[in-house]
């Protein structure tokens, strides 16, 4: 069995996008449902998804474990797995970790660019590492099967999380800093800490994470994957496209500023380019996963490695890490 799984998307969801997932043969997607939302606001987002599952049973289904991916595949659906890019949904209450896992959450970032109650974000000047609550919450996430995601966290916090966590952690969407020196891309010691503990990284297609940004070629992207796989082992990687399809620019502002600042913060953008950057022409939406698969083949990966990178590695990671210990 081969799988096509995306480690992160945050589209402006619609029947159109769901249909494109089916056209692209996407079996499962990890979908962000909270950036800065409180618990109650996050529950409203679960409610909205319940409505979509009710309206589009022919296209999508709720994913909670890897076997839901096989069920989705058998029924020609895409399995939707939920995650948070910030720990704001648990507020200051460790009991909400299990509650949110029961509702369907499977990934939670310990911080998003800024310092959180748990860990430091990648835009802070100082990174003191995991907080007291951060260590408690990692243990609770391990217990219930909520995966630690450090995509937007700072280096020391990420390495400490990889070491403190009894189960593998992930960076769902980023690329190596050595290839494109964005603050959000990851240095080798960070990638090593995550992968040596059995963790996974998803390669990002968000243009700010790509060499030459929107003009990045599929050849350059595929070659970066080949070099990274050589260094750390192909089995530790997948795709985490960070596709934000059909979102208005007001959403990237919400992602960056939330309610934490009265000033504008451009994140990876700038005053002259504050919005979402255009996607590379070879990956505009879910119908283009075939281009990535072709790119990987042209790098000399064998069939098993290609299948692993396109979804098999995420499948195995989902299978091992979403259930209670």
Residue 77 vs 228, nearer CB to a copy of itself: 77
The structure tokens 């790098």 sit at 299
The span of 11-19, 27-35, 46-54, 161-169 binding a copy of itself (CB under 8 A) equals 46-54
Integer Rg of the chain from CA: 18
Stretch that binds a copy of itself, among 35-43, 120-128, 267-275, 314-322 (CB under 8 A): 35-43
Q: Which two tokens stand for residue 126?
A: 């100082």
Choose between 98 and 253: whose C-beta lies nearer to a copy of itself: 98
Q: What angle do CA 170, 157, 9 make, to 5 degrees?
A: 35
Work out the number of other CB atoms within 10 angstroms of the CB of residue 268.
Answer: 18
Q: How many residues does the chain have?
A: 325
62-101 mask for a copy of itself (x: CB under 8 A)? Answer: -------------------------------x-xx-xx--
- List the one residue out of 291, 206, 213 whose CA is nearest residue 241: 206
Exactly one of 3, 10, 18, 46 binds a copy of itself (CB under 8 A); which one?
Answer: 46
Complex with a copy of itself: residue 40 or 262, whichever CB lies closer: 40
Beta strands in 126-240 (DSSP E): 147-149, 170-174, 200-203, 237-239
Under the binding rule (CB under 8 A), the answer on residue 266 touching a copy of itself is no
Residue 134 to residue 138: CA distance in whole angstroms = 6
Q: Which is nearer to a copy of itself, 38 or 291 (CB)?
A: 38
Write out the residues near a copy of itself by the rule CB under 8 A.
Answer: 39-40, 43-44, 46-48, 50-51, 93, 95-96, 98-99, 102-104
């Amino acid at each position: 069995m081969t799988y096509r799984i995306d480690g992160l998307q945050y589209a402006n969801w619609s029947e159109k996008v769901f249909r494109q997932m089916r056209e692209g043969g996407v079996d499962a997607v990890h979908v962000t449902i909270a950036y800065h939302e409180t618990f109650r606001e996050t529950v409203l987002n679960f409610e909205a998804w319940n409505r979509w599952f009710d309206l589009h049973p022919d296209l999508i289904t709720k994913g909670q474990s890897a076997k839901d991916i096989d069920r989705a595949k058998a029924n020609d659906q895409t399995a939707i797995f939920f995650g948070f890019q910030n720990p704001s949904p648990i507020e200051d209450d460790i009991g909400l970790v299990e509650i949110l896992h029961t509702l369907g959450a499977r990934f939670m970032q310990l911080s998003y660019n800024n310092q959180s109650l748990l860990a430091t974000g990648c835009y802070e000047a100082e990174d003191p590492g995991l907080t007291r609550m951060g260590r408690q919450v990692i243990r609770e996430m391990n217990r219930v099967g909520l995966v630690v995601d450090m995509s937007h966290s700072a280096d020391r916090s990420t390495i400490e999380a990889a070491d403190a966590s009894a189960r593998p952690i992930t960076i769902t969407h980023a690329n190596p800093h050595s290839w494109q020196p964005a603050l959000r891309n990851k240095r080798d010691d960070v990638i090593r800490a995550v992968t040596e503990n059995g963790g996974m990284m998803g390669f990002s297609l968000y243009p700010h994470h790509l060499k030459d940004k929107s003009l990045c070629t599929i050849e350059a992207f595929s070659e970066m994957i080949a070099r990274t796989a050589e260094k750390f082992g192909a089995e530790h990687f997948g795709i985490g496209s960070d596709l934000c399809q059909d979102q208005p620019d007001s959403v990237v502002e919400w992602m960056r500023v939330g309610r934490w600042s009265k000033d504008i913060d451009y994140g990876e953008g700038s005053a002259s380019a504050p919005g979402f950057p255009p996607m590379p022409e070879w990956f505009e939406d879910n119908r283009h996963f075939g281009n990535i698969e072709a790119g990987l083949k042209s790098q000399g990966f064998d069939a098993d490695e290609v299948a692993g990178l396109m979804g098999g590695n995420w499948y195995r990671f989902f299978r091992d890490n979403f259930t209670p210990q």
